[in-house]
């Protein structure tokens, strides 16, 4: 592990795989979030943790303007390319950290985030979102709820095939330590009540929070494995295995997931999401 390894470099590292392996799962969830938000034509929107800009592009057709921010330079570069390709003239992408946003207070009518907050410290990022909003403006986002059984399967298979601690080099052990540390987001915000309490403390009102399964994503088993193993922790573990263990590990995942697939090999993935709507 290099000294500079942190969440920003982790997302920089995954940016190149995002459109190929991750967006198939994330795009339907972003689309469902945007229609749930019911954007208004007059709104100026900020999309926090925009990634390659999927939510920003989807909402752009319904509002005045959108700014997508992300602290990963590589994500922002791809988001800009995608916006040009899709001819979105009212969307701008800026590299910025959600903890310290480079905009004056009360610049936006609507702040959205689709899985953009979970690596932030909510004690900084949520008050910063509040600062961005005009009085009466809305904060609407989704984050992961309790783990899905497919996530547990991935963890079980990795536990079986990952390089043993005794054989893992210093670099792999450092990566594991980094990913094992509890994130402030999940420490602070474990259930619906935590969200209501914290958002109230930060000044929000009319807070609505629900953990449910609003989206069913359909993917082949292979697409699902590609999506789940695109993230840095999985890629690091797979890269550390010898080629035969890596092959066995991926085969074991295939076998487990085919048990859930329909006769065409299609999986239906409906993760628990936490949806939040709050007003300044």
Ligand X SMILES: C[S@@+](CC[C@H](N)C(=O)[O-])C[C@H]1O[C@@H](n2cnc3c(N)ncnc32)[C@H](O)[C@@H]1O
Please tell me the distance from the alpha carbon of residue 158 to that of residue 233, in angstroms, as a whole number: 10
CB of 114 to ligand X, least distance (A): 4
Q: From the list 32, 46, 50, 78, which residue makes contact with ligand X (rule: CB under 6 A)?
A: 50
Please tell me the distance from the alpha carbon of residue 174 to that of residue 213, in angstroms, as a whole number: 34
271 near ligand X (CB under 6 A): no
Provide DSSP, 151-211. HHHHHHHHHHHSPPTTTS-HHHHHHHHHHHSPPHHHHH--SHHHHHHHHHHTT-EEEEEEE
CB of 8 to ligand X, least distance (A): 7
Q: Among 134, 122, 61, which Cα is nearest to 276's?
A: 122
Nearer to ligand X, 240 or 273 (CB): 273
Query: Are 107 and 81 a contacting pair, CB within 8 Å?
Result: no
Q: From the list 21, 26, 43, 143, which residue makes contact with ligand X (rule: CB under 6 A)?
A: 26
For ligand X, what does the binding mask look like between residues 82 and 121, x meaning CB under 6 A? ---------------xxx--------------xxx--xx-
CB of 24 to ligand X, least distance (A): 11
175 near ligand X (CB under 6 A): no
249 near ligand X (CB under 6 A): no
Please tell me the distance from the alpha carbon of residue 10 to that of residue 170, in angstroms, as a whole number: 18
Please tell me the distance from the alpha carbon of residue 41 to that of residue 261, in angstroms, as a whole number: 41
232 near ligand X (CB under 6 A): no
Structure token digits, residue 222: 């292979």
User: Among the candidate windows 51-59, 80-88, 200-208, 270-278, which touches ligand X by CB under 6 A?
Assistant: 51-59
Structure token digits, residue 233: 């922790």
Please tell me the distance from the alpha carbon of residue 145 to that of residue 233, in angstroms, as a whole number: 19
Number of shown-chain residues binding ligand X (CB under 6 A): 22
User: Among the candidate windows 49-57, 166-174, 175-183, 258-266, which touches ligand X by CB under 6 A?
Assistant: 49-57
In the complex, which residues of this chain contact ligand X (CB under 6 A)?
7, 11, 26, 30, 49-51, 54-55, 69-72, 75, 97-99, 114-116, 119-120
């Amino acid at each position: 592990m290099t000294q500079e390894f942190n969440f920003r470099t982790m997302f920089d590292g995954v940016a190149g795989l995002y459109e190929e392996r991750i967006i198939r799962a994330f795009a339907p969830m972003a689309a469902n979030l945007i229609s749930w938000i019911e954007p208004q034509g007059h709104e100026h929107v900020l999309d926090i943790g925009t990634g390659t800009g999927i939510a920003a592009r989807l909402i752009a057709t319904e509002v005045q303007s959108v700014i997508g921010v992300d602290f990963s330079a590589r994500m922002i570069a791809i988001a800009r390319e995608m916006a040009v390709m899709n001819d979105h003239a009212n969307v701008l992408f800026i590299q910025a950290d959600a903890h310290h946003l480079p905009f004056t207070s009360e610049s936006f009518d609507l702040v959205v985030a689709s899985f953009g907050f979970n690596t932030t410290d909510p004690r900084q990022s949520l008050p910063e979102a509040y600062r961005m909003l005009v009085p009466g403006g809305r904060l609407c986002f989704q984050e992961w709820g309790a783990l899905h059984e497919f996530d547990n399967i991935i963890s079980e298979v990795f536990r079986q095939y990952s390089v043993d601690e005794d054989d893992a080099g210093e670099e792999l052990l450092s990566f594991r330590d980094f990913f094992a540390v509890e994130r402030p987001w999940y420490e602070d915000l474990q259930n619906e009540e935590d969200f209501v309490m914290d958002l109230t403390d930060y000044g929000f009102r009319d807070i609505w929070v629900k953990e449910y399964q609003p989206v069913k994503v359909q993917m082949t088993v292979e697409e699902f494995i590609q999506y789940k193993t695109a993230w840095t922790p999985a890629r690091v573990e797979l890269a550390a295995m010898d080629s035969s263990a890596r092959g066995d590990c991926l085969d074991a995942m295939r076998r487990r997931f085919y048990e859930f697939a329909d006769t065409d090999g299609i999986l239906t993935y409906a993760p628990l999401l936490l949806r939040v709507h709050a007003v300044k």
